[in-house]
Amino acid sequence: MATTITITGAGGQIGYALLFRIAAGDMLGPDEKVRLRLLEIPQGLGAAEGAALELQDGAFDLLEHVEVTDDAATGFDGCDIALLVGARPRGPGMERADLLAANAGIFGPQGRAIAENANPGVRVTVVGNPANTNALIAAASADGVPAERFTALTRLDENRARAQLSVALGAPITGIRRVPIWGNHSATQFPDVTHATVDGRPVLDALAERFDDVQGWLDQTFIPRVAKRGAEIIEVRGSSSVASAANATIEHTRDWVRGTDDWTSAGVVSHGEYGVPEGLVSSFPVRAVDGEWRIVEGLELSDWARSRIDASVAELACEREAVRALGVL
Ligand code: NAI
């Protein structure tokens, strides 16, 4: 049996970077056949149809079927994995409340369509921003589907954090582990090096050998660099992160299905862990066990880490309030 994967916004940039890697087996492995559903709005259908033609020309062994549609019920019919990439970007002069309202108009109906049409056990990875709150809206709209099935992508932030540590320490990326992201996928996020290791040694010890003022480096260089990396990419490249975002989407979803051997980061629904209000979709350190994300519990948090996490979680709570004010939740 093939796995049916629905990609919304499949005619966009990240969609284009995702489709061919999924068809090549990068997400579910070399033995899993895939059926792709490309869900777009009418204006994006041409780009998605073009991508479907190219998928055909890729002659991928694992690709059983491709369908392009602008109908959500068709797009999510029999879906096992939904990658919700299509979202409304912030336009000029758009306030945050307008942005949340526009996205509620996308992720609410998509959540309902998932509940009505997807397979039981569907896994949803929300990429489109504001990703955490979009995941919350979709989950709240999907009657009968456990909220744990809706996640937000923060793996790109974690990858950026590990990459910055690799550069700062002159150490290969493979040796750098346990660098979770906490909170929102936004400038308030907290990339946490407290428990991180480099080749099994505490990262904090390795940083102390390189920097006189490690705390200053973390606050003034590392955290802003990671949190504002998206803006840096736009400035240098002239366009937002695409291939790295697609790569992180594939890694997040692959780990969710196939399991992790260590911590990673994902935006998942809180049950009150670490004092994060219940129901918020917040990034946490997680492991994937038996096809489910589990929050790594029992970590000690310094006052500094606590205040950073609280600030990002407060932003998530504000976003939830703004969505509630729209009558969406
Ligand atoms: P893009 O503008 O190239 O593509 C978006 C596509 O979504 C367009 O083809 C559009 O027609 C489609 N779309 C819009 N509304 C839709 C709907 N209701 N249903 C189906 N499709 C719809 O944008 P790009 O570069 O592909 O980025 C997509 C999203 O990913 C953005 O919201 C961006 O901010 C977000 N993003 C998230 C990251 C993360 O780490 N969570 C990292 C990078 C980007």
Q: Assess whether the C-beta atom of 87 lies below 6 angstroms from ligand 1.
A: yes
Q: Assess whether the C-beta atom of 41 lies below 6 angstroms from ligand 1.
A: yes
Q: Which atom of ligand 1 is nearest to the CA of 239?
A: 25
- Is position 185 annotated as part of the catalytic site? yes
Known binder of ligand: residue 10? Answer: yes
Q: 18 and 145: one domain?
A: yes
Q: 42 and 117: one domain?
A: yes
State the residue range of the domain holding 74. 3-152
- Which tokens go with 147? 């909220």
Q: Strand 176-177 to strand 197-198: parallel, antiparallel, or no bridges (unpaired)? A: antiparallel
Q: For the segment 137-168, what is each residue's pLDDT rounded down to a tens digit? A: 999 999 999 999 999 999 999 999 999 999 99
Q: 76 and 159: one domain?
A: no
Please tell me the distance between residue 268's alpha carbon and the centre of ligand 1 in angstroms. 20
Whether 329 is in a domain gets the answer no
| Selected catalytic residue, list 185, 195, 252, 271 | 185
pLDDT for position 232: 95
Number of domains in the chain: 2
Whether 52 is in a domain gets the answer yes
**Confidence check: pLDDT of 327 > 90:** no
Please tell me the distance between residue 161's alpha carbon and the centre of ligand 1 in angstroms. 23
Whether 327 is in a domain gets the answer no
Known binder of ligand: residue 238? Answer: no
The mean per-residue pLDDT over the stretch 15-33 comes to: 98
User: How high is the ipTM of this complex?
Assistant: 0.99
Domain termination residue (choose one: 152, 186, 209): 152
Domain termination residue (choose one: 152, 173, 192): 152
Q: How many CB atoms are located within 10 Å of the residue 264 CB?
A: 25
Q: What's the whole-model pTM score?
A: 0.98
Q: 109 and 196: one domain?
A: no
Q: For the segment 233-275, what is each residue's pLDDT rounded down to a tens digit? A: 999 999 999 999 999 999 999 999 999 999 999 999 999 999 9
Euclidean distance between CA atoms 98 and 104, whole angstroms = 10
pLDDT for position 329: 81
Whether 144 is in a domain gets the answer yes
Known binder of ligand: residue 12? Answer: yes
Q: 135 and 163: one domain?
A: no
Question: Whose alpha carbon is nearest atom 31 of ligand 1?
Answer: 128
Q: For the segment 52-107, what is each residue's pLDDT rounded down to a tens digit? A: 999 999 999 999 999 999 999 999 999 999 999 999 988 888 888 889 999 999 99
Q: 76 and 190: one domain?
A: no
The mean per-residue pLDDT over the stretch 174-197 comes to: 97
Whether 195 is in a domain gets the answer yes
Domain termination residue (choose one: 119, 152, 185): 152
Question: In degrees, to the nearest 5, what angle opens at C-alpha 314 toward C-alphas 86 and 190?
Answer: 75
Q: Which residue has the tokens 């099994």?
A: 200
Q: 313 and 169: one domain?
A: yes
What's the CATH number where 204 sits?
3.90.110.10
Q: Assess whether the C-beta atom of 127 lies below 6 angstroms from ligand 1.
A: yes
Percentage, residues of the chain above pLDDT 70: 100
Q: Which atom of ligand 1 is nearest to the CA of 126?
A: 41
What's the CATH number where 124 sits?
3.40.50.720
Please tell me the distance between residue 38's alpha carbon and the centre of ligand 1 in angstroms. 13
Q: 161 and 102: one domain?
A: no
Euclidean distance between CA atoms 79 and 265, whole angstroms = 24
Q: Assess whether the C-beta atom of 8 lies below 6 angstroms from ligand 1.
A: yes
Question: Whose alpha carbon is nearest atom 29 of ligand 1?
Answer: 128
DSSP three-state, residue 278? coil
Q: 113 and 186: one domain?
A: no
Whether 68 is in a domain gets the answer yes
Least confident of 15-19, 94-98, 196-200: 94-98
Whether 316 is in a domain gets the answer yes
Sheet hosting strand 292-295, strand order edge to edge: 63-69, 34-39, 3-8, 81-84, 123-126, 150-152, 264-269, 281-289, 292-295
Q: Which atom of ligand 1 is nearest to the CA of 152?
A: 41
Q: 142 and 160: one domain?
A: no
pLDDT for position 40: 98
Question: In degrees, to the nearest 5, what angle opens at C-alpha 177 toward C-alphas 173 and 179?
Answer: 110
pLDDT for position 1: 85
Q: 196 and 274: one domain?
A: yes
pLDDT for position 326: 87
Q: 172 and 132: one domain?
A: no
Whether 325 is in a domain gets the answer no
Q: Assess whether the C-beta atom of 129 lies below 6 angstroms from ligand 1.
A: yes
- Average pLDDT for the chain: 97
